[in-house]
């Protein structure tokens, strides 16, 4: 009897190459291709508009102290004031929504199993999620930066910038510093993004992930407001968030900025590692 | 490439399925039920035969990874116990021969999907092992899974994206997929499942059947060695079901091994070359369809008011397994000539209202096997 | 394991980092007198750096004080950071780094500016020509540093033990620790330690430890320092556009704070115990007097009106312990560093002393 052979070449594509970045690009498409993301960015873009119009209508900055008080005199400060005012609530909320959605959203749609069997590789999928989150943080602060600048120029006189130290620098220098501030604030949000990513890896309900992440944020806020535990304050997530203003000193005061970056890095490292451990061992049942 | 001579397994011909194999043409051309044994005898994992293991593990000859010489899916003692303590899959030893269309049959909740999740590395087995295309899972998933098309527990998509965008995303997740051909491959896959016209529609607006087709399209984005399909015709209308089945046959003809779970017996009957039966987490049976069929012996059914007389006569003539109901008597006539039996009944003054041979369905066999009913709709 | 490792690494870096940096340097031994003599001769042409202060006098938080008072008490509690720069002989700049704001005092020797970024107010002070110079520099050289050191030690010997208590790293520099320990137990001060740079002999840090407790009551020192002379533009100030400028003339130059070397003590607010009770309604005409010597000194203020039993301060006093003696009766407030006795006849005794010492002072003090 002749050997009955199924003549068949396996479809293995060993030399098909390694198109690793495709998933990252696809992830960006997923985050920035959604109406929800654009609604969030639109809300952030509205912050400078609201502040600018309010100040314009009231005719002056009143007795407001700090950056807000300088807006009427120099539209440049609308950029900084908007960033500063968005930091305690709007930006963390936006990051919470996107980060809570990241893995839990895939799990709830069931697409997580498609990605894993694709195979995306769980570690690489997590990395792609985190990169997309980081870029969202940057997009969020840059949205405020751009919106603040446009509204500032339209509504107010714009000119040389007075730094906190009383030194006057050119508008270009000021805008460059404000760009640095946008970057720093985006980086400041990474710790929260890491927490959100981790929480998101725990559940298949995006809303629960968002709520839990926001709760964590609130708890940090409450802990930071209790004077009796001031010894732990320097280790809280948001302790160094206001350090971005140190870029507006002459010369910039780097110490707190550096410390904040290290803190965010530490929070991110811990929660990213936790998310990794969770995702790589998780039973994907959804 | 397989070059195993059948002579390496001289013991095989004892297995009726194996005999048939030996006479089968290079299978790909005969997808019809029962005749579709697409692999040489050496790889037929005949049911319950212990020695088939050794056959499956014959050394691969060709260089360069899996070459089709081993069974594409082999599990050993595969078990999943959930945290609740429930044992969803209980020590199953599956062996899916290359080139087969393997029906993974079982009622809902019998552990089919859990098994498939373990096969694909979605969940970790509590114990036991999985080998996919000759490599251990989930360890080798990054190198194996690009060659496996999968549809697990119903279609899952981004509803806010178009069908095409969904395909592109899942293809992008596979780093071996060439981005330059991605759009063309997506177009081709959509065409194969008949979704070309809906490619630009948001999945939110797809019917369940369309989603099911799209899920199959995901599996078709690349040429695959193995397709693992969990209830592929679920939610399809009869026309769609027919299309999907013929698509599966077509793919099998191209040489792709197909592992498809279903709770529909008809599907297995019409489509599969092999079947395995799951019930309550246990693998009750796996075999070729031919063998399963051969075990279904025809039964003689006699409708008569003289039930006791008929029963006595048939038993006396050597009919085995005679059973009496309120309306008829039936039994296994074996090799007995049917016309003689009829004459004998008449001679015994049995008034015959009906007389005939009935072939039991697979369903009867499986119900007998599992003690559970199947959804036989369609 | 990975998250555990990540936590361990992060915690390790957080906990061990400072420990490694604070390792005591090896320096040749030195006597207290020699060290004091070196401090006398210390002379730098300029420096710049960052000073941090943390003050924990154990003062209760008093909500509801006015904004100005809050600004003041703010400096008495918590942590503060300031950037300082100095260039010989009379240029100096101190910028207190506030959250999203900055308070700057700068002088180029002729003019001093005070700028508050949050209020956008600048104050210009014209200084008399060369006010401080003859006071400091020539005098310093007229003395023999060793003799001065010896005299100083002799003078404080009855009340204070002075020792070189070791070495430490401050702002990345090797420093000797000079410790002053009160010999009396009537003060709340446990010790005062100065960290003195081993190369320039400039004090880099001062730490005040309370008699009880492990945490410093006051710690003020450089967190980074450079001894290169800052550019003269550092000390100039041009009032920015849109800023309200007030001009002031000083009658004398004696009390200008930012003059001369901005020694850590220069910004130490807690050093003036008489001012820890702002808003007391103290009458200016009654000059404060001091009762007792050295560590047991008690500041006496007269004519203080006890606030009514409303408001936060009233509540604070209502809870305070009432004491009686031959001197009358009053309320006593104590914190871990500062004690205050407010008598019913309107006298206030304040000092870095135990409450008993305050009562004794009240008995001795003239009415």
> Exposed (0-12), middle (13-18) or buried (19+): which is B194, by Cβ within 10 Å?
middle
Evaluate whether chains B and A are touching (3 or more beta carbon pairs less than 8 Å apart): yes
Residue B156 backbone dihedrals phi, psi, to 5 degrees: -130, 120
Widest CA span in chain C: 73
Query: Can you give the pLDDT at residue B63?
Result: 31
Distance between CA atoms of residues B198 and A9, nearest Å: 33
Q: Do C6 and A246 touch (CB under 8 A)?
A: no
> What are the C-alpha distances in Å from B95 to residues A211, B132, B270, C160?
46, 10, 21, 91
| Segment B66-80 mean pLDDT | 77
Sign of CA dihedral C318, C324, C330, C336: negative
Per-residue pLDDT of chain A (286 residues; tens, 9 = 90+): 443 444 445 554 544 457 788 889 899 999 998 888 999 999 999 999 999 998 888 766 556 667 887 888 888 999 999 999 999 999 999 999 999 999 999 999 989 999 998 888 899 999 999 999 999 999 999 999 999 999 999 998 888 888 888 888 899 999 999 999 999 999 999 999 999 999 999 998 999 999 999 999 999 999 988 888 878 888 899 888 988 988 988 888 888 899 999 999 999 999 999 999 999 888 887 6
Distance between CA atoms of residues B103 and B202, nearest Å: 32
Query: Can you give the pLDDT at residue A134?
Result: 95
Q: Of the ranges B206-220, B330-344, C15-29, which one carries the lowest mean pLDDT score?
A: C15-29
Q: Judge whether A162 is closer than 8 Å to chain C, CB to CB.
A: yes
Q: Judge whether C8 is closer than 8 Å to chain A, CB to CB.
A: no
Of A74, A166, A272, the CB nearest to C117: A166
Q: Do A14 and B64 touch (CB under 8 A)?
A: yes
Q: Is the pLDDT of residue B15 over 50?
A: no
Q: Do C97 and A67 touch (CB under 8 A)?
A: no
Distance between CA atoms of residues B357 and B330, nearest Å: 9
**Which chain B residues are closer than 8 Å to A3 by Cβ?**
3-6, 40
Count of A-B CB contacts under 8 Å: 164
DSSP B209-270: HHHHHHHHHHHTSS--SEEEEESTTTT--HHHHHHHHHHHHHHHHTT-EEEEEESBHHHHHH
Q: Do C240 and A273 touch (CB under 8 A)?
A: no
For C42-88, the pLDDT digits (tens) are: 777 888 888 888 877 766 655 555 555 555 556 666 778 888 888 87
User: Residue A1 domain-assigned?
Assistant: no
**Cis ω before B207 (30° cut-off from 0):** no
Count of A-C CB contacts under 8 Å: 89
Of C6, C14, C99, the CB nearest to A242: C99
Distance between CA atoms of residues C254 and C110, nearest Å: 14
**Which chain B residues are closer than 8 Å to A117 by Cβ?**
120-122, 145, 148, 150, 152
Neighbours of chain C (3+ CB pairs under 8 A): A
Distance between CA atoms of residues A103 and A199, nearest Å: 9
Q: C94, C98, C99, C102: which to substitute to probe chain A, counting the most A Cβ within 10 Å? A: C102
User: Residue A3 domain-assigned?
Assistant: no
Q: Do A110 and B154 touch (CB under 8 A)?
A: yes
**Closest CA–CA distance from residue A164 to any residue of chain C (Å):** 5
**Closest CA–CA distance from residue A196 to any residue of chain B (Å):** 21
Q: Is the pLDDT of residue B209 over 90?
A: no
Q: What is the DSSP letter of C187?
A: B
Length of chain B: 378
Enter the tokens of residue B372: 């559970």
Of A11, A19, A22, the CB nearest to B223: A11
Q: Is the pLDDT of residue B150 over 60?
A: yes
Nearest Cα residue in chain A from B72: A10
User: Residue A250 domain-assigned?
Assistant: yes
Query: Can you give the pLDDT at residue B4?
Result: 39
Of B123, B141, B148, the CB nearest to A284: B123
User: Residue A64 domain-assigned?
Assistant: yes
More confident residue, B363 or B264: B264
User: Residue A112 domain-assigned?
Assistant: yes
Q: Is the pLDDT of residue C10 over 80?
A: no
Query: Can you give the pLDDT at residue A190?
Result: 94
Q: Which residue range is the domain that position A158 belongs to?
A: 21-281
User: Residue A59 domain-assigned?
Assistant: yes
Neighbours of chain A (3+ CB pairs under 8 A): B, C
How many structural domains compose chain A? 1
User: Residue A4 domain-assigned?
Assistant: no
Write down all domains in chain C, each with its CATH number in brackets.
Answer: 32-270 (2.50.20.10), 273-364 (no CATH)
Query: Can you give the pLDDT at residue B50?
Result: 34
For B302-328, the pLDDT digits (tens) are: 888 888 888 888 888 888 778 888 888
Query: Can you give the pLDDT at residue A131?
Result: 95
For C284-322, the pLDDT digits (tens) are: 445 677 777 777 788 887 766 555 555 566 667 777 777
Of B6, B123, B147, the CB nearest to A285: B123
Q: Judge whether A123 is closer than 8 Å to chain B, CB to CB.
A: no
Write down all domains in chain B, each with its CATH number in brackets.
Answer: 6-293 (3.40.50.300), 298-359 (3.30.70.980)
Q: Of the ranges B333-337, C9-13, C224-228, which one carries the lowest mean pLDDT score?
A: C9-13
Distance between CA atoms of residues C86 and C89, nearest Å: 8
User: Residue A148 domain-assigned?
Assistant: yes
Chain B segment 223-252 residues within 8 A of A by beta carbon are 223-225
**Which chain C residues are closer than 8 Å to A266 by Cβ?**
10, 13-14
Choose among B141, B136, B131: nearest CA to B174: B141
| Segment C140-167 mean pLDDT | 72
Query: Can you give the pLDDT at residue C59?
Result: 65
Q: Do A118 and B168 touch (CB under 8 A)?
A: no
Distance between CA atoms of residues C310 and C69, nearest Å: 18
> What are the C-alpha distances in Å from C107 to residues A167, C92, C110, C258?
15, 5, 7, 8
| Band of residue C17 on the pLDDT scale cut at 50, 70, 90 | low
Neighbours of chain B (3+ CB pairs under 8 A): A
Q: Judge whether A23 is closer than 8 Å to chain B, CB to CB.
A: yes
Q: C79, C100, C103, C230: which to substitute to probe chain A, counting the most A Cβ within 10 Å? A: C100
Query: Can you give the pLDDT at residue C305?
Result: 59
């Amino acid at each position: 009897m002749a050997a009955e052979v199924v003549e068949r070449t396996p479809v293995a594509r060993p030399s098909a190459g390694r198109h690793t970045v495709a998933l990252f690009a696809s992830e960006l498409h997923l985050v920035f291709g959604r109406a929800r993301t654009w609604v969030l960015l639109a809300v952030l873009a509205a912050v400078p508009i609201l502040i600018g119009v309010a100040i314009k209508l009231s005719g002056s900055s009143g007795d407001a102290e700090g950056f807000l008080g300088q807006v009427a005199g120099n539209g440049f400060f609308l950029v900084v004031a908007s960033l500063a005012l968005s930091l305690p609530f709007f930006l963390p909320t936006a990051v919470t929504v996107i980060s809570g959605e990241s893995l839990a959203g895939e799990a709830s749609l069931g697409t997580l199993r498609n990605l894993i069997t694709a195979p995306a590789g769980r570690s690489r999928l997590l990395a792609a999620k985190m990169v997309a989150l980081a870029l969202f943080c940057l997009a969020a602060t840059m949205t405020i930066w751009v919106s603040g600048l446009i509204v500032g120029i339209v509504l107010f006189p714009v000119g040389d910038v007075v730094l906190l130290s009383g030194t006057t620098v050119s508008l270009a220098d000021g805008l460059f510093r404000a760009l640095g501030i946008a970057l720093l604030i985006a980086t400041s949000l990474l710790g929260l993004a890491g927490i959100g990513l981790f929480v998101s890896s725990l559940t298949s309900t995006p809303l629960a992930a968002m709520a839990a992440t926001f709760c964590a944020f609130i708890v940090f806020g409450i802990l930071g407001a209790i004077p009796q535990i001031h010894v732990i304050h320097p280790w809280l997530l948001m302790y160094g968030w206001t350090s971005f203003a140190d870029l507006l000193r002459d010369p910039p005061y780097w110490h707190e900025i550096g410390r904040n970056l290290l803190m965010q890095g530490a929070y991110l490292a811990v929660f990213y590692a936790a998310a990794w451990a969770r995702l790589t061992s998780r039973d994907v049942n959804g | 490439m397989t070059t195993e001579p059948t002579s390496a397994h001289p013991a095989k011909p004892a297995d009726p399925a194996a005999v048939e194999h030996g006479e089968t043409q290079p299978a790909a051309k005969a997808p019809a039920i029962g005749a579709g044994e697409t692999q040489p005898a050496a790889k037929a994992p005949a049911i319950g035969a212990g020695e088939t293991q050794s056959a499956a593990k014959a050394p691969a000859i060709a260089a360069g990874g899996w070459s089709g010489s081993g069974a594409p899916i082999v599990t050993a003692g595969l078990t999943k116990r959930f945290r609740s303590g429930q044992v969803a899959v209980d020590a199953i030893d599956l062996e899916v021969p290359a080139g087969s269309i393997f029906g993974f049959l079982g009622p809902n909740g019998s552990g089919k999907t859990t098994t498939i999740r373990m096969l694909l590395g979605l969940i970790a087995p509590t114990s036991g092992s999985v080998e996919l295309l000759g490599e251990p899972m989930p360890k080798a998933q990054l190198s194996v899974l690009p060659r496996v098309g999968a549809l697990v527990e119903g279609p899952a998509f981004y509803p806010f994206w178009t069908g095409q965008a969904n395909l592109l995303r899942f293809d992008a997740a596979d780093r071996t997929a060439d981005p330059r051909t991605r759009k063309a491959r997506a177009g081709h896959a959509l065409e194969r499942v008949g979704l070309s016209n809906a490619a630009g529609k948001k999945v939110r607006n797809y019917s369940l059947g369309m989603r099911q087709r799209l899920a199959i399209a995901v599996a078709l984005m690349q040429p695959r060695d193995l397709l693992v399909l969990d209830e592929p015709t679920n939610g399809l209308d009869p026309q769609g079901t027919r299309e999907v089945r013929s698509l599966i046959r077509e793919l099998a003809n191209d040489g792709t091994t197909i592992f498809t779970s279903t709770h529909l017996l008809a599907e297995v009957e019409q489509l599969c070359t092999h079947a395995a039966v799951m019930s309550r987490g246990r693998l009750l049976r796996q075999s070729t369809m031919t063998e399963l069929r051969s075990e279904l012996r025809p039964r003689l059914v006699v409708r008569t008011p003289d039930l006791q007389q008929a029963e006595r006569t048939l038993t006396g003539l050597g009919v085995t397994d005679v059973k009496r109901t309120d309306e008829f008597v039936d039994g296994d006539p074996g090799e007995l000539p049917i016309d003689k039996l009829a004459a004998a009944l008449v001679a015994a003054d049995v008034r015959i209202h009906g007389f005939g041979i009935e072939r039991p369905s697979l369903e009867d066999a499986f119900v007998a096997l599992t003690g559970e009913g199947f959804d036989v709709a369609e | 394991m990975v998250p555990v490792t990540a936590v361990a690494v992060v915690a390790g870096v957080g906990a061990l980092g400072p420990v490694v940096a604070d390792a005591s340097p090896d320096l040749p031994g030195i006597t207290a007198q020699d060290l004091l003599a070196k401090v006398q001769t210390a002379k730098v042409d300029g420096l710049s750096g960052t000073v941090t202060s943390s003050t924990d006098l154990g003062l209760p938080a008093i909500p509801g004080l006015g904004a100005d008072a809050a600004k003041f008490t703010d400096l008495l509690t918590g942590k503060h950071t300031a950037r300082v720069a100095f260039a010989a002989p009379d240029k100096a700049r101190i910028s207190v780094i506030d959250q999203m704001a900055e308070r700057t005092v700068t002088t180029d020797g002729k003019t001093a500016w005070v700028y508050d970024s949050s209020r956008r107010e600048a104050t210009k002070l014209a200084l008399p020509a060369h006010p401080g110079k003859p006071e400091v520099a020539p005098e310093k050289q007229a003395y023999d540093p060793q003799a001065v050191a010896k005299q100083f030690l002799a003078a404080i010997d009855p009340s204070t033990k002075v020792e070189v208590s070791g070495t430490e790293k401050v702002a990345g520099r090797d420093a000797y620790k000079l410790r002053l320990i009160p010999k009396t137990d009537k003060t709340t001060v446990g010790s005062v330690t100065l960290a003195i740079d081993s190369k320039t002999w400039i004090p880099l840090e001062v730490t005040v430890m309370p008699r009880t407790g492990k945490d410093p009551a006051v710690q003020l020192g450089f967190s980074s320092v450079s001894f290169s002379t800052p550019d003269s533009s550092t000390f100039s100030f041009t009032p920015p556009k849109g800023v309200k400028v007030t001009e002031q003339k000083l009658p004398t130059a004696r009390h200008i704070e930012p003059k001369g070397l901005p020694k850590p003590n220069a910004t130490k607010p807690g050093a003036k115990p008489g001012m820890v009770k702002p808003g007391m309604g103290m009458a200016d005409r009654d000059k404060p007097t001091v009762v007792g010597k050295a560590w047991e000194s008690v500041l006496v203020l007269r004519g203080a009106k006890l606030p009514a039993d409303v408001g936060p301060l009233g509540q604070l006093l209502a809870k305070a312990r009432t004491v009686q003696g031959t001197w009358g009766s009053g309320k006593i407030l104590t914190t871990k560093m500062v004690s205050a006795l407010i008598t019913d006849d309107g006298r206030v005794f304040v000092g870095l002393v135990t409450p008993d010492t305050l009562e004794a002072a009240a008995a001795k003090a003239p009415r």
